[in-house]
Structure formats: structure tokens, C-alpha cells
Chain A
């Protein structure tokens, strides 16, 4: 069934869903790595391989704006090879990798290293994100022209929020020259100092230092004001609070150039998951209260949030087997994102099209990537999904090196069965 770029593949009788374009049973023809035709009863000539997708969904390959590939520097946690294999298994065909490697990706040479690796060992498309500031120290701007030329699609200091207001202003202004979105992790480090969990009832009961929602909200507010002031593209990483969604919604109605993402764990779990000091429920931003989860869901529904992103953050098992305070923040997400997102359909919150949009064209538009579409002529980046397949999350089966997930043992519905990048099959269940 695998095709080389020169061959042709006809995916027949699947439910082809490309939100806003098509949502019906149709055939899809891949030729020379591109989508050659989409339509009813396309002819199967002798030189064409045929994949019967009856009962399956044929979707644009997913786009993840927030992934940690850990290479260079932390290859024991993940490599570009294992990270992209995890992406392929999750239906992701394009992933944006954060610059918090060692060294930090604040230069052409690191960006080129990542792209070289991705080309030689990667299974899906890798789009590096460069650092906002040199070494992500929050002081001097990195060289955005060079980063952009080398292949960066956005700038971010990842988990290190740009605390200095003037540095953030200059970053937004300067990035505008190159039309690069500036991605911020919104957290006032003074307000969250020492915090390891959401400041709420569970942290109070467990005696854990809290990170108040206000720590996120004040930075979202600052960033939105700066985006309005500068007219630059702002992208807000992993919104987790009701306050954030309220402010982003309001800013969008005023025409501020802002996009936002949310992670599956922030719309599927509350602070309750932290009980028993579960270090696989420790992430930043932390799992919040029920009302925040409801707000994130509403923001996914009404378009306040543009994209579902995973914040895929692999860690070694022993790193998470520590005192809750000392365990690192973060969980893996690439291989569970689809199933978790589709549970919002099961719960009646989102439609299938809305979920697919949030995984494909939503993120692609946020960063201006030519991805997440089944338009004729585009690269054949495709996820084939069995929408009724039930499966149990078993971290031992992950392609990722990371096993750190709070979803182990969860029964999910909807599974990727095949993933194609440029017409080439990169994953098969």
C-alpha cells in the first residue's frame, strides 16, 4: 500500500472531511505526492494502487503548533526520529518544535541542524520555532531575519515567559518585519513563584504551592495590549483559564491580531487529577478548576481558540518518579490528541468538523503554514482515521520515548490507521 512519490494512490469510499470545503463520502487521488483529485467515483486505472477507506475518515494531516522534540541536547527524552514517529502515529503531518533545546534554537545553525535531522530521520514535516531572545534569557532579541531565512515559522521563548514588558514590545514590533507570529507562554513568574499546581482546593488540601489563574491572566492581558499597540501577530500558547478566554474573545472582537491554542489535557482534566500527587498530572500551565475547563471548551466552540496543540513534552520515567515538587512539568500528547479531542464530540460539545478544523486549518492559519487542507494541488498530507475504533491508551506502546501521560488506561474512541506525508505512508496501525 505504500507509495513512492511517483506512484499514484486512490483512497476510495472514505468520508472525506476538510472543514469548510468538503464533508462527504468521496474518493481522493494522490499523484506525485500531491492531491490530484477529490470526488465521487474517481476511476481506478491499472497503474493506481487502491486503498478501500469504507467506514473511515480521510482528513488533512494534523498540524501541531506546540511540540518539544528535545533534540539537540535531550536525546534521552526524545529525538527528532522518535518525536516525528509519535506525530505520525497521532495523525500529525506537520509539527512545530519549540526552541528549548540545548543549545537553545536562537540561531541559523541550530535551525538548520533540526531541519537536516528532520529530513534524514523525520517521518513528518518539522517547522522550527526560533527563540524570541538570545538563549531565551528574555533580554536581547534573537536575529529574526536569519531565523526566518533558515526556516523558522514563529518565535517563542517557550516555557520562559518574556517577563520584561519592553522586550516583549520590541519582539512584537520587530517580528512584524518578517510576519513572524510571536508565541508567548503567559505566566507572571512573580505570581507563580514556587508554584507546582493550580492554586485551588486540591493544592490547598495537598499542601502544594499554588499557581494562581491570575498569573496567566495578567500576562494575557499585557500581551493583548501590546499586540494591539504594535499591530503584530501574537499567538498565545496553551490557554488554561477562564480569564484568558474571556480576554482573548474580547480582543478578537476588537480586531486585535491574536490567535490562541489549547491542549487536550486542559479541556479533559481538572486539578482533581493531581490528587495522590500524580506527577503525570503536573504540567505548566497546571490543570485548573472545572469552570476553567468549561471556559476552554466554550472557547474552542466559538472560535476564540484557533487550534488544539499538544505541548508534547516527553520526560524520562525516572524524572517523573520524584517528589511532586521536583518532578518536571509536562506530558506527552501527540499520540492521544485525536482520541481526546473526539471525546468532545461524544460529549456533544463540538462537531466532528470543528474538531478537525482545530487540528488542521486552524493551526495552519495561525502560523501561515500551507498545510491542513485537502485542496487539489496541495501536498498529500493525510490522516486516515477509524472513527469507531475503541482503544486503550497504553504508554508502553507509544512511539515517543516519553511515557509521561495521565491518560494511561483511558479508553478512547477514534484511532489513526494510516498517515501520509507528501503521499508517502509514514504510519500504519
Chain B
């Protein structure tokens, strides 16, 4: 079995069947990561280039481990140390990398749509590792994988995404996938962080977090991107935290077996209190573990599909 596509650009492109295939494939790769010798020869002789135009430790490391556990060669290419600072265009940079016979380019880029530019022009498979506020498909896939492990079914699941929806690629990718899979998706945050027409994507909008949490099976907290604030979307971190921070008291408004997720890195005491982050409800570290398996599955399935 394989994905009949060269690239993974976003969850919006994937069918339910493709999503299920990736999740099933990740099951067996998760088993590999649990072994003493965490390596299979699947991508031996293949080259994966992590092309990162934004700082990232977690996602890059996860892709690097995934590629290495598949026996691929991995190069990490960080934009700040590259010819990009000399004014080279994205496409020229990527074409040069491809000229060195890269089979996969894993791209993290601040501009929405950047991976599509490479996908259209290059022979290499392009995996979107986050493009601006657009998509972060492997994050959504690892979230789905984690949900599937803990909750079995997506249908009927009530899930709340909390925070800066407007600037979150994690929110977009998850909304796209979860609505497709039949979950009830709610988004909660101040109107300054809520993009217009978001309800047309099939989600319910809440400005009051307490109301949004009632009956929730899953709470997905988004990182408050403090570094991204231009004209402030809220008056102070203190006030944001008081109105939209996830505390043990708020957690009790949700279902008893609620799961708390977070794409990381977390701001302890800002969007999530330490008690909640470290509680039994939290699956934040499971998400990280599953990320490697999901990325192995994606690289494998794209490789098989070519």
C-alpha cells in the first residue's frame, strides 16, 4: 500500500482513506521505535533534507529520527547559515539541494504555501513541516494517532481547540482532519484571535472558554505565540492566562476522561497551568513519541508511492 501522491502539503488535500492508511502504517513503525535496535532498512540509500527556515527543535529532531530509523541519510539545512541570507530565492535554494540528489525535502517555512512552490517544481517529495499559519500536517497526524490510541473513535468525539486560532497552522490542519473524520470541533479564544468565516469550516466558535469546555472529550491547547504579537491581540499575558489558561478548575468542566493535548513547546503558567500539563489527563509526551512513528510512516508511504 502507498499514498498515490508525491508530496504531503496539508491535511486539506488528504482523503479519510489516506489518513487511515497513514495511521495504520504508523502503528507498525511505533513498534520499531520500541525495539532495542530502533532501525529498519526501508529507506536505505535515500537522502532526506530538513530545510528549515524557522527555528524548530522538536519537529526537526522528530523528522531526523524518523529518517534515521528508516536508514535514510539526513542533512539538516538551517536557513540562517545558508545562502538565503545572500538573497537566493526559495526555489533556487531548493533546486540546488535537489541537484545533490535529495529524495525528500522536509520544509519548514514562515510563508503559507511555500512547500507547494517546491512540490510543483521539484522531483523530490516535499513534506510540509509547517508553513506559516497554513498547515502542519504531520502535527495533525500525530495528534490523530494519539487520539486514536486513547479514544479509539473519531466520530462523535468532542474536541476543543483553544488559543490563537488565526495564526495557528496546527489548528488549521487539525480542523481540516477532524471535521473530515466526523468529530465535533469547537474553537475557543478571543475574537482578536479568531479568523473570519472559520465557522464555515464546520467548527463552533466560543469566546468563553468555560462554555466551550462543557462536555469536551479532548482539549487541544495552542501555544501562545508571544513572539508574534504586533499590535497586541490581548492586553497582557496575565489577562490572557486568567481568561483562556487551562487550570485544574476549568479541566473539571470537561468530561471526566478528558485528554489534554498541546503541540509544544508549552508556556507553563500561560496557556496551561503546570498542574494540568503534568496531570494524568495530559498526553503531551505521548504526542511527541508518536510524532516519530507518524513521520516514519509518511516518509515510507511517499517513497512507496513514487
Interface, chain A (partner B; CB < 8 A): 193-194, 199-201, 203-208, 210, 276-277, 318, 321-326
Q: Find out whether the CB atom of B109 lies under 8 angstroms from the CB atom of A200.
A: no
Q: Find out whether the CB atom of A324 lies under 8 angstroms from the CB atom of B113.
A: yes
Q: Find out whether the CB atom of B90 lies under 8 angstroms from the CB atom of A277.
A: no
Cross-interface CB contact of A206 among B117, B134, B166, B230, cutoff 8 Å: B134
Given contacts A207-B112, A207-B132, contact A322 B90 (CB under 8 A): yes
Main secondary structure of the interface of A (DSSP, over half): loop
A291 to chain B, nearest CB (A): 13
Q: Find out whether the CB atom of B230 lies under 8 angstroms from the CB atom of A324.
A: no
A211 to chain B, nearest CB (A): 12
Q: Which of B189-233 contact A (CB under 8 A)?
A: 195-198, 200-201, 230-231
Q: Find out whether the CB atom of A322 lies under 8 angstroms from the CB atom of B134.
A: no
Q: Which of B67-109 contact A (CB under 8 A)?
A: 89-91, 109
Q: Find out whether the CB atom of B172 lies under 8 angstroms from the CB atom of A207.
A: yes
B199 to chain A, nearest CB (A): 10
Query: How many residues of chain B get a CB closer than 8 Å to chain A's CBs?
Result: 28
Cross-interface CB contact of B111 among A200, A203, A325, cutoff 8 Å: A325
* Residue of B90, B169, B197 with most partner-chain A CB within 10 A: B197
A324 CB contacts on chain B under 8 angstroms: 111-113
Task: Please report the C-alpha to C-alpha distance between residue A247 and residue B135 in the assembled complex, in whole angstroms.
Answer: 38
Q: Find out whether the CB atom of B116 lies under 8 angstroms from the CB atom of A201.
A: no
Count of A-B residue pairs with CB < 8 Å: 63
Q: Find out whether the CB atom of A277 lies under 8 angstroms from the CB atom of B195.
A: no
Q: Which of B145-186 contact A (CB under 8 A)?
A: 166-167, 169, 172
Q: Find out whether the CB atom of A318 lies under 8 angstroms from the CB atom of B112.
A: no
Cross-interface CB contact of A207 among B134, B200, B201, B230, cutoff 8 Å: B134
Given contacts A318-B89, A325-B132, contact A204 B112 (CB under 8 A): no
Task: Please report the C-alpha to C-alpha distance between residue A201 and residue B199 in the assembled complex, in whole angstroms.
Answer: 9
Q: Which residue of chain B has its CB nearest to the CB of A321? A: B91
Given contacts A277-B112, A324-B111, A324-B112, contact A210 B196 (CB under 8 A): yes
Q: Which residue of chain B has its CB nearest to the CB of A276? A: B116
B114 contacts A by Cβ under 8 Å: yes
Task: Please report the C-alpha to C-alpha distance between residue A321 and residue B111 in the assembled complex, in whole angstroms.
Answer: 13
B89 CB contacts on chain A under 8 angstroms: 318, 321-322
B12 contacts A by Cβ under 8 Å: yes
B231 CB contacts on chain A under 8 angstroms: 193
Binary A-proximity of B113-128 (CB < 8 A = 1, otherwise 0): 1101100000000000
14 A-B pairs (CB sep. < 8 Å): A201-B196, A201-B197, A203-B195, A204-B195, A204-B196, A204-B197, A207-B167, A207-B172, A208-B133, A277-B116, A322-B89, A323-B109, A323-B113, A325-B111
Task: Please report the C-alpha to C-alpha distance between residue A315 and residue B116 in the assembled complex, in whole angstroms.
Answer: 21
A327 to chain B, nearest CB (A): 10
Q: Which residue of chain B has its CB nearest to the CB of A324? A: B113
A326 CB contacts on chain B under 8 angstroms: 111
Known contacts A193-B231, A208-B133; 14 additional CB pairs below 8 A are: A193-B230, A199-B196, A200-B197, A203-B195, A204-B196, A204-B197, A205-B172, A206-B112, A207-B134, A277-B113, A318-B89, A323-B90, A325-B132, A326-B111
Cross-interface CB contact of B133 among A200, A207, A318, cutoff 8 Å: A207
Task: Please report the C-alpha to C-alpha distance between residue A381 and residue B146 in the assembled complex, in whole angstroms.
Answer: 71
Task: Please report the C-alpha to C-alpha distance between residue A365 and residue B113 in the assembled complex, in whole angstroms.
Answer: 43
Task: Please report the C-alpha to C-alpha distance between residue A97 and residue B117 in the assembled complex, in whole angstroms.
Answer: 33
B111 CB contacts on chain A under 8 angstroms: 323-326
* Residue of B12, B196, B231 with most partner-chain A CB within 10 A: B196
B91 CB contacts on chain A under 8 angstroms: 321-322
Task: Please report the C-alpha to C-alpha distance between residue A384 and residue B195 in the assembled complex, in whole angstroms.
Answer: 49
Q: Find out whether the CB atom of A201 lies under 8 angstroms from the CB atom of B172.
A: no
B134 CB contacts on chain A under 8 angstroms: 206-208
Q: Which residue of chain B has its CB nearest to the CB of A196? A: B112
Task: Please report the C-alpha to C-alpha distance between residue A201 and residue B113 in the assembled complex, in whole angstroms.
Answer: 16
Task: Please report the C-alpha to C-alpha distance between residue A29 and residue B200 in the assembled complex, in whole angstroms.
Answer: 59
Q: Which residue of chain A has its CB nearest to the CB of B134? A: A207
Q: Which residue of chain B has its CB nearest to the CB of A278? A: B113
A201 CB contacts on chain B under 8 angstroms: 196-197, 200
Q: Find out whether the CB atom of A194 lies under 8 angstroms from the CB atom of B230.
A: yes
Q: Which residue of chain A has its CB nearest to the CB of B120? A: A276
Task: Please report the C-alpha to C-alpha distance between residue A205 and residue B13 in the assembled complex, in whole angstroms.
Answer: 12
Q: Find out whether the CB atom of A205 lies under 8 angstroms from the CB atom of B201.
A: yes
Task: Please report the C-alpha to C-alpha distance between residue A120 and residue B266 in the assembled complex, in whole angstroms.
Answer: 66
A366 to chain B, nearest CB (A): 34
Task: Please report the C-alpha to C-alpha distance between residue A321 and residue B113 in the assembled complex, in whole angstroms.
Answer: 12
Task: Please report the C-alpha to C-alpha distance between residue A56 and residue B141 in the assembled complex, in whole angstroms.
Answer: 60
A325 CB contacts on chain B under 8 angstroms: 111-112, 132
Q: Which residue of chain A has its CB nearest to the CB of B12? A: A205
Task: Please report the C-alpha to C-alpha distance between residue A210 and residue B91 in the assembled complex, in whole angstroms.
Answer: 25
Q: Which residue of chain B has its CB nearest to the CB of A198? A: B196
Task: Please report the C-alpha to C-alpha distance between residue A324 and residue B90 in the assembled complex, in whole angstroms.
Answer: 12
A165 to chain B, nearest CB (A): 21
Q: Which of B225-282 contact A (CB under 8 A)?
A: 230-231
B5 to chain A, nearest CB (A): 15
Q: Find out whether the CB atom of A323 lies under 8 angstroms from the CB atom of B169.
A: no
B184 to chain A, nearest CB (A): 20
B117 CB contacts on chain A under 8 angstroms: 277, 321-323
B172 CB contacts on chain A under 8 angstroms: 205, 207
B133 CB contacts on chain A under 8 angstroms: 207-208
* Residue of A194, A208, A210 with most partner-chain B CB within 10 A: A208
Q: Which residue of chain A has its CB nearest to the CB of B89? A: A322
Q: Find out whether the CB atom of A323 lies under 8 angstroms from the CB atom of B198.
A: no
B7 to chain A, nearest CB (A): 13
Q: Which residue of chain B has its CB nearest to the CB of A322? A: B89
A322 CB contacts on chain B under 8 angstroms: 89-91, 117
User: Which are the 3 A-B pairs with shortest beta-carbon distances?
Assistant: A277-B113, A207-B133, A207-B134
